[in-house]
Structure 1
């Protein structure tokens, strides 16, 4: 560990934990909560299903484009200030949606929420580093993982209930009370020192343009059916990305922390974070199609299975994070990937006709392994950098997860187009990604 940090004194530490936990849960819930009300939005606003999906795709696009620039801004503005500003923007966007009557206005308000989410997530993991003593950082990472996984798991149920009970607009501001709790405790949140220096505006613009063009290109090719236009747009994004990296090498306070990426230990851990997220997203998005279309289970049964999968991750994440303060991180991450691989192999070679119970315990293994992996891996990344670089490291973790989620959605779409979603192909692809993550974990420098 680069720095020895004593953390916040008690009882302030407890209040800060509550504030960051509530805020992280809000932001993670908001990422997943929109999907369940898309059909309702399409019906009530009299728009096509494709236009309704833009509520999700635009949100994810803004998130991916702004995480790194906002993290760089945190060093000039202050991590606590940016975190609270993110919660305020998110809440303001939700309240604005309540007053909207048109599709365009609702989309603009949703975009404001995306910027708020990016601002909060860009520093949330970094703030955890300042809350906990160095020797308990794994415990902090596990609670952050629980907040993120819990928010993602609860979002569909809460969104579905609200969409059925009240106006769909309430779905986007129903979690504002959690933001209010976090904001009410803002003085307990750590206030790391602000680092003077010029904000890299050009680098931020190039970063956003590069990531945005690549994602839009993939979306055009996969979802829009415009392969040539998508390839050209993605190629333009790569060209801008090259320009971006060249620019970052010449500035004093870069948006992209290239020195971290040059460290094999950190870069490989970040790659493992991306691949594991991609594998997990592939499973989560594929399961409803597999269970409902291939095995004939109803929506309620599908929901129960997904909840059990998420519960396995929630149960094992805090245990693994706690143990990462005491035992080898590589051992915990490797064990997690091995458990997931066993579950995936059991699904690949499972009989065509399976009971729900036989499916559930196999998926439980996959979810448990995923939960075991993320907390220790995040602890290693955050704990390996200087305290002042925590925000930058946090943004790399969050950006990697966001890109992994986006890539996972695109992979499922490709499998559906190729009509490979009825067999074991998605599980085989997920197993390959898990094996790659395991190899990286075992071979990266100690």
Structure 2
């Protein structure tokens, strides 16, 4: 395969070792996707098994997301001081051991504690996964490998609900965590064997103030999004307090980073306008995706009356569209302008979202699937070229920070999208809120297109 063939002047690892490092990173990415998707559908069974209320069981999912969001920037910064292999090995080990703890949990408190540890392990790997891929593959193959990574995540997203349903129908929810153990051990062995540490590690003081403020800002953001998405069960004042905390600590974080000698996240990385615009484009697109992923289940189940299983299956065309488009988009991004390809992808994504927003009152399943697959194709065309644009416009020594920014804007965007849907649900009837949400997703995508187009000036059709 071309991915594993070497050419004179190639950066990174030789062919076979590239493949093993890719397997380690992608195995972990698949584990995280499976874990998130399958746990969501297992919450009712977990609540019954542990004899707790469904509302309380939601913290099995929220605990993971909260701890992951709070530590993403911290691990991205530590990667330049401790090395990619050290951080990735730590994350894999914690995630795998926490999976053992989850499988053995006999109480909700123990399960939530293990899920918090899983989130920390997941953040350590997700924050530097793309940076590791960049470090082991040459620049000429960066778009292609990121496209394959997007394909894997899309395939995992499509398969996870079906696999989770099959496991839950035959076995206990504990097996959803147990399947992580052999996969984690395999990925850990591969990591120790081939994943390199950074060539020149920085022996610098750690920015504890920046770490605390970033954790507070992202943690408060997750709590605000959770409160907004359950307007009937929570206090709106509490949600607003969390949102205000996120904003204030976010501004304080930026202020500290500007003054710090060795900041947690060097703001100089945003000096490249192409990196900054790619990050903002990614943020707007994930806001759109976050809105859609929260709004569509209400549309399918509450408006159209489909069952939970059918609703899950109606989501499948979206990741299938990503699977169809992402590898080709990644290959094209290695030959042509990644910004142009990702902008075209956003245009297709906007068309798909508009088609979903215009669904008739009694839409058949095949019609929903066709419109959803257009969204998936558009997002698949956008995501891997845009990720390539971000990583390629950060120096290799800053690739860990760039990878962390990529993970942060994805998390921030999805949470902001979820919060917007929660606000609409608290202000309007469910049907109206869904309609408004879908049109808001279209508006967010149009904003992403405008940001993406603005970075095309000055290099029109030049290769990235």
Q: TM-score, normalised by structure 2?
A: 0.90
Query: Does residue 390 in structure 1 map to residue 395 in structure 2?
Result: no
What is the distance in 2 between the residues matched to 1:407 and 1:31? 18
What is the distance in 2 between the residues matched to 1:239 and 1:304? 41
What is the distance in 2 between the residues matched to 1:124 and 1:89? 16
Q: 1:239 to 1:407 in 2, by over 3 A?
A: closer
Query: Alignment partner of 1:69: what SS?
Result: helix
Deviation at 1:53, TM superposition (A): 0.6
What is the distance in 1 between the residues matched to 2:244 and 2:176? 37
Aligned match of 2:3: none
Match of 1:370 among 370, 379, 402: 379
Aligned match of 2:124: 119
Query: Does residue 207 in structure 1 map to residue 214 in structure 2?
Result: yes
Q: 1:226 to 1:293 in 2, by over 3 A?
A: closer
Match of 1:87 among 92, 110, 115: 92
Query: Alignment partner of 2:412: what SS?
Result: helix
Write out per-residue CA displacement over residues 180-226 of structure 1, whole angstroms, 9 at most, x where no aligned residue.
22112122123222222112222211211122223324434553532
Query: Does residue 191 in structure 1 map to residue 197 in structure 2?
Result: yes
Match of 1:15 among 14, 20, 33: 20
Match of 2:445 among 402, 422, 434: 434
Aligned match of 2:345: 336
* Structure 1 gap ranges (5+): none
Q: 1:221 to 1:127 in 2, by over 3 A?
A: same
What is the distance in 1 between the residues matched to 2:178 and 2:428? 38
2:278, 2:386 within 8 Å by CA — same for their partners in 1?
yes
Q: 1:377 to 1:421 in 2, by over 3 A?
A: farther
Write out per-residue CA displacement over residues 316-364 of structure 1, whole angstroms, 9 at most, x where no aligned residue.
1111111100112122111111112222222333432222222211111
Query: Alignment partner of 2:316: what SS?
Result: helix
The CA RMSD measured in Å over matched residues stands at: 1.9
Q: 1:214 to 1:291 in 2, by over 3 A?
A: closer
What is the distance in 2 between the residues matched to 1:218 and 1:348? 23
Deviation at 1:41, TM superposition (A): 1.2
2:229, 2:418 within 8 Å by CA — same for their partners in 1?
no
**Superposition map of 1:33-432 within 5 A:** 33-186=38-191, 187-193=193-199, 194-223=201-230, 224-423=233-432, 424-432=435-443
Deviation at 1:153, TM superposition (A): 2.9
Write out per-residue CA displacement over residues 101-153 of structure 1, whole angstroms, 9 at most, x where no aligned residue.
11111111111111000001111010010121111110111122223333333
Between stretches 150-159 and 362-371, larger displacement belongs to: 150-159
What is the distance in 2 between the residues matched to 1:239 and 1:349? 38
What is the distance in 2 between the residues matched to 1:280 and 1:217? 18
What is the distance in 2 between the residues matched to 1:289 and 1:258? 40
Between stretches 162-171 and 318-327, larger displacement belongs to: 162-171
Q: 1:337 to 1:286 in 2, by over 3 A?
A: same
Deviation at 1:442, TM superposition (A): 0.3
What is the distance in 2 between the residues matched to 1:229 and 1:192? 43
Query: Alignment partner of 2:212: what SS?
Result: helix
What is the distance in 2 between the residues matched to 1:421 and 1:377? 34
Between stretches 414-423 and 330-339, larger displacement belongs to: 414-423
Deviation at 1:92, TM superposition (A): 0.5
Query: Alignment partner of 1:256: what SS?
Result: coil
Write out per-residue CA displacement over residues 285-333 of structure 1, whole angstroms, 9 at most, x where no aligned residue.
3222212222233334323221122111121111111110011212211
What is the distance in 1 between the residues matched to 2:307 and 2:108? 31
> Matched residue pairs, number?
443
What is the distance in 1 between the residues matched to 2:394 and 2:219? 28
Between stretches 279-288 and 377-386, larger displacement belongs to: 279-288
Q: TM-score, normalised by structure 1?
A: 0.94
What is the distance in 1 between the residues matched to 2:167 and 2:426? 32
